[in-house]
């Protein structure tokens, strides 16, 4: 293994603590309501050059209209809500994708994460939609890591074929068995806690969990390991220490 970047999904402590203790953070605000570019540029300028930001794509690209989620928006959104989400090749979704790209550029990110909800089913139509979208939408030189929720992991052939055709990394919770092919070369792991159906954010990883995680991560040439639980910062620091001991 050449490189492991350990971080959290979102800032759980003061930003400076993250910069000092960890390697990366996945910016969550860009999913709900992308901050002004000046804010993102400030974060980039205050962080060490070695610290990496990854960006979670705006929900308007990936998720169908949801009144609860849209209530969090401060940015003015124009257009019919039904024309957003699910990688539709509409003017509205392409605009939302461009907002995501602008955020990634401001942070000088390498990776953009697209997370699809369980309602985005694993079927041939949605597979064609993903491939079509990423065949048309600009992507600059960003790596795109796709974390599917729901039944895609039960149709691994379709998942792998879709990711390959769209030139996407498959992201997943490797401790829950959602492990992408090793020939992908770069692993993007998002860890949501153990127990529960999809996530268990209140879970605190044990030392045994972190040892198992080390063994899993070692299969890849390069890895991002992003904790997304209540104890994310603490668990990420412990995992970095475990890697140092190895």
Pair of tokens at residue 5? 């970047």
Q: pLDDT category, 245, cuts 50, 70, 90?
A: confident
C-alpha of 208 from chain center: 25
Q: What is the pLDDT of residue 181?
A: 86
Q: How far apart are CA 2 and CA 11, in angstroms?
A: 26
Average pLDDT of the residues in 109-121: 97
Q: What token pair was written down for 93?
A: 């979704």
The length of the chain is: 246
Token reading at 243: 């890697």
Mean pLDDT of 125-144: 97
Q: Cβ(148)–Cβ(167) under 8 Å?
A: no
Please state the pTM of the whole predicted model.
Answer: 0.96
For residues 153-178, average pLDDT: 97
Model pLDDT, residue 182: 78
Instruction: Reply yes or no on whether the pLDDT at 246 is more than 80.
Output: no
Domains of the chain: 3-245 (3.20.20.410)
Mean pLDDT in residue range 191-207: 94
pLDDT tens digits, 217-230: 999 999 999 999 99
Q: Which of 126, 125, 133, 167 is nearest to 148 (CA)?
A: 126
pLDDT score for 1: 57
Dihedrals phi, psi of 235, to nearest 5 degrees: -65, -40
Q: Which of 101, 11, 99 is nearest to 47 (CA)?
A: 11
SS3 243: helix
As to burial, measured by CB atoms within 10 angstroms (0-12 exposed, 13-18 middle, 19+ buried), residue 217 is buried
Cβ atoms of 79 and 92 within 8 Å: the answer is yes
**Model confidence at 2: pLDDT above 80:** no
Burial of 227 (0-12, 13-18, 19+ CB in 10 A): buried
Instruction: Please give the pLDDT value at position 183.
Output: 85
Is a pLDDT exceeding 80 seen at residue 124?
Answer: yes
CA atoms within 13 A on the CB side of 44: 17
- Name the H helices within the chain: 15-21, 29-32, 37-46, 59-62, 67-70, 91-106, 124-136, 156-166, 207-217, 232-245
Please provide the average confidence, as pLDDT, over all residues in the chain. Answer: 96
Quick: pLDDT tens for 41-74: 999 999 999 999 999 999 999 999 999 989 989 8
Kindly state the helix (H) or strand (E) to which residue 191 belongs, with its residue range: strand 186-191
| Residues 60 and 147 sit within 8 Å (Cβ to Cβ) | no
DSSP string, 134-150: HHHS--TT-EEEEEE-S
The average pLDDT across 2-30 equals 96
At residue 189, the 3 state secondary structure works out as strand
Q: What are 210's two structure tokens? A: 């972190």
- Mean pLDDT over residues 80-91, rounded? 96
């Amino acid at each position: 293994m050449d490189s492991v970047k350990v971080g959290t999904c979102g800032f759980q402590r003061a930003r400076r603590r993250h910069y000092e203790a960890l390697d990366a953070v996945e910016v969550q605000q860009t999913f709900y309501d992308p901050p002004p570019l000046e804010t993102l540029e400030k974060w980039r300028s205050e962080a060490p050059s070695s610290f990496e930001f990854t960006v979670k794509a705006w929900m308007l690209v990936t998720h169908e209209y949801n009144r609860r989620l849209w209530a969090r928006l401060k940015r003015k959104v124009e257009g019919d809500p039904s024309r957003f989400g699910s990688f539709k090749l509409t003017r509205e979704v392409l605009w939302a994708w461009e907002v995501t790209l602008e955020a990634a550029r401001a942070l000088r990110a390498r990776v953009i994460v697209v997370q699809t909800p369980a309602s985005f089913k694993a079927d041939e139509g949605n597979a064609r939609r993903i491939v079509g979208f990423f065949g048309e939408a600009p992507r600059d030189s960003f790596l795109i890591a796709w974390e599917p929720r729901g039944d895609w992991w039960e149709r691994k052939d379709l998942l792998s074929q879709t990711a390959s055709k769209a030139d996407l990394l498959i992201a997943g919770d490797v401790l829950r068995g959602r492990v992408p092919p090793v020939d992908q070369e770069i692993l993007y792991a998002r860890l949501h806690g153990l127990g529960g159906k999809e996530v268990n954010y209140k879970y605190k990883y044990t030392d045994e969990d972190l040892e198992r995680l080390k063994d899993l991560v070692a299969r890849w040439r390069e890895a991002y390991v992003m904790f997304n639980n209540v104890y994310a910062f603490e668990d990420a620091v412990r995992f970095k220490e475990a890697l140092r001991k190895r």
